[in-house]
Structure formats: C-alpha cells, structure tokens
C-alpha cells in the first residue's frame, strides 16, 4: 500500500484545514517545495497536492507550485483542486502532474470528466469522492450534493474508473481516525478498485488496518504536520 503525504496550497503556502473549513486554516510552511523535498528525502515516493485556491476559484491557480515541486523532486504527484476544463487538465499535466483528481467536475459535468478518462486513460485520472453524511460534497467541500456515494461510485466504475480517492469530511483534520468501515464497504462492493483512503489517518495501526482491508493507498496530512506520525515510520511502516 502506498503512503501518500498531502500538501494543500493556499496563497502558495502549505496549509491544512479542518473538515474543509477555510476559516480553520493553519499555515505549516511558507515553502511547499521544501516540504516536498523533506518527504522525498525521508523515502516517500508519492505526493497528493491540492490547490485549495483553485477549488474555490473553479480553475487551476497554483500550477506554478506544482511545476516547482515536479522540477525539484522525483515524487509521483497527483494534483487536484479547481480542475474544471480541458485547459486546466492540460496545464496540470504540462506542469508535471502524473495523475489528476476530479471531484466536483465528475458530479456537475460528467461528460467532461469521462472525456478526460478517454483522452488520458484510467490510470492517469482519479475520481475524487468526498463524502459527508453519505452524500458527495463538491466545490472544495463548500457545497453538499444530493448524490449518494455508492450510486456515484457505481456509475463511474461502470465507466471504467479505476482510481478513487475517498475522503470522509467528518474525519478530515481531526486526528481522530479514518472511516475504515466505510472503506471496507466500498472495497466489498467494488473489489477491483484502487481505493485511496483520505481523512483522519493518524496512527501506524490504522495504516496497517487500511492495508489489511485492501486499500491501494492512504493519504496522510495533518498527522505529519502535527508530528503524530514521523516520516521515517511511514516509510518503514
């Protein structure tokens, strides 16, 4: 299972939110490239990079940060936040992303998202499934949809989606554990899915449980920045 550290960007800085609330923002580092280099130096190989400004603006904003990290590290970067057009996705890939994540667009403009799947291939496109109270949330988690998580996933699995990042918003940023039972249910229903767990991952024991149930990856954010988990432990654990 891949351990994937997260960097969220606002105003070019490395930040973390709590439950997606922009008012609960904490800046951890002024230079995201330094943070990415620390991840790579510790032996981690992947990075989940989120353009929170882009998520709010509904267009890519922090592609220069993506470009700088891609040029100065060898990390495998999946990039999301504000990708709402063909031009946004082209910029992301040209700036060095290996994969992009589409969440809001997959709810509001499924034809466009499916076009990306066809053009770039299922291995390069990740479906972002951010869930709150059983339904999908969109627009940087600022808006709740009426789309049920499992209905949403089923529709896209039928369209050959292979990679999914699922975040339980109620768990995100609280350092109180992740939604393991939810991920178990997803993998039970869609056993071939490359499921990446996100939100609330706090301990090595929890990471081991996510590995045991068959998750493809686990995204770790605030637990790293608050030093609940050490980078060296993530590589060996």
Reading the chain (237 residues) residue by residue, the pLDDT tens digits are 999 999 999 999 999 777 667 777 788 888 999 999 999 999 999 999 999 999 889 899 999 999 999 999 999 999 999 899 999 999 999 999 999 999 889 999 999 999 999 999 999 999 999 898 888 887 555 556 678 999 999 999 999 999 999 988 876 555 667 889 999 999 999 999 999 999 889 999 999 999 999 999 999 998 999 999 999 999 854
Q: Provide the residue range defining the domain that includes 182.
A: 2-236
| 8, 53, 78, 172: the active-site residue | 8
| Residue 109 in tokens | 């403009």
Residue-level pLDDT at 51: 95
The whole-angstrom separation of Cα 32 and Cα 12 is 8
Active site residue 53: no
Q: What are phi and psi of 92, to 5 degrees?
A: -60, -45
Active site residue 88: no
Q: State how far the alpha carbon of 213 is from the alpha carbons of 90, 205, 207, in Å.
A: 35, 13, 10
Phi-psi region of 26 (alpha: psi -120 to 50; beta: other; left: phi over 0): beta
- Establish how many alpha carbons lie within 13 A of residue 134's alpha carbon, considering only the half-sphere containing its beta carbon: 3
Q: What is the CATH number of the domain that holds 144?
A: 3.20.20.70
| 51, 53, 78, 130: the active-site residue | 130
SS3 178: coil
Asked whether 65 and 32 are in contact (CB, 8 A), the reply is yes
Total domains present in the chain: 1
The whole-angstrom separation of Cα 100 and Cα 31 is 22
Residue-level pLDDT at 31: 96
Taking the CB of residue 89, how many other CB atoms lie within 10 A of it?
25
């Amino acid at each position: 299972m891949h351990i994937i550290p997260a960097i969220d960007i606002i105003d070019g800085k490395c930040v973390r939110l709590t439950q997606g609330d922009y008012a609960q923002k904490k800046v951890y580092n002024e230079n995201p490239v330094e943070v990415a280099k620390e991840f790579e130096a510790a032996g981690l190989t992947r990075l989940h990079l989120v353009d929170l400004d882009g998520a709010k603006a509904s267009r890519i904003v922090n592609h220069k940060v993506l470009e700088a990290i891609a040029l100065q590290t060898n990390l495998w970067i999946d990039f999301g936040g504000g990708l709402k057009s063909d031009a946004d996705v082209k910029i992301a890939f040209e700036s060095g992303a290996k994969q992009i994540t589409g969440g809001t667009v997959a709810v509001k403009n499924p034809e466009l998202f499916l076009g990306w799947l066809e053009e770039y291939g299922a291995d390069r496109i990740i479906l972002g499934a951010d869930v709150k109270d059983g339904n999908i949330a969109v627009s940087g988690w600022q808006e709740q949809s009426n789309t049920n998580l499992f209905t949403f996933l089923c529709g896209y699995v039928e369209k050959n989606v292979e990679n999914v990042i699922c975040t339980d918003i109620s768990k995100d940023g609280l350092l109180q554990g992740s939604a393991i039972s939810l991920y178990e249910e997803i993998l039970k229903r869609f056993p071939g899915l490359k499921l990446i767990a996100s939100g609330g991952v706090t301990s090595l024991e929890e990471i081991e449980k996510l590995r045991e149930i068959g998750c493809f990856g686990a995204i770790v954010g605030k637990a790293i920045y608050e030093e609940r988990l050490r980078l060296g432990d993530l590589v060996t654990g």
